[in-house]
Amino acid sequence: MYNNWTEMYKPLIEVKKGEFIKRKDTHSKVYQKGDYDRSAKAFWLHDWSDISHSILVKPNKLVFCNFEF
């Protein structure tokens, strides 16, 4: 489907707000990109299956974004 890992992974800062992502292709948890937190200098990722679970991830972190959900 994809020729190389650069088509599947991209830095979190390049992902649109509200897009579904995984932290790695082997992980089962799906997150939705949220707002940028200036005090933490990171983006909020909201767990799709557990609404009370969110994590902060730095903008330059590579995330897996091209998958069927």
- Residue position matching structure tokens 């992502």: 21
Taking only the tens place, the pLDDT of each residue in 7-63 is 789 999 999 999 999 999 899 999 999 999 999 999 999 999 998 999 999 999 999
Mapping DSSP to helix (H, G, I), strand (E, B) and coil, where does residue 12 land?
helix
pTM: 0.86
Query: Would you place residue 4 in the very low, low, confident or very high pLDDT band (cuts 50, 70, 90)?
Result: low
The residue type of 54 is: S
- Distance, CA of 7 to chain centre: 14
The CATH number of 5-64 is which of 3.40.1440, 2.40.50, 2.30.30, 2.70.50? Answer: 2.30.30
Query: Would you place residue 67 in the very low, low, confident or very high pLDDT band (cuts 50, 70, 90)?
Result: confident
Q: Where are the domains of the chain?
A: 5-64
Beta-carbon contacts of residue 61 (< 8 Å; ≥ 6 apart): 11, 12, 23
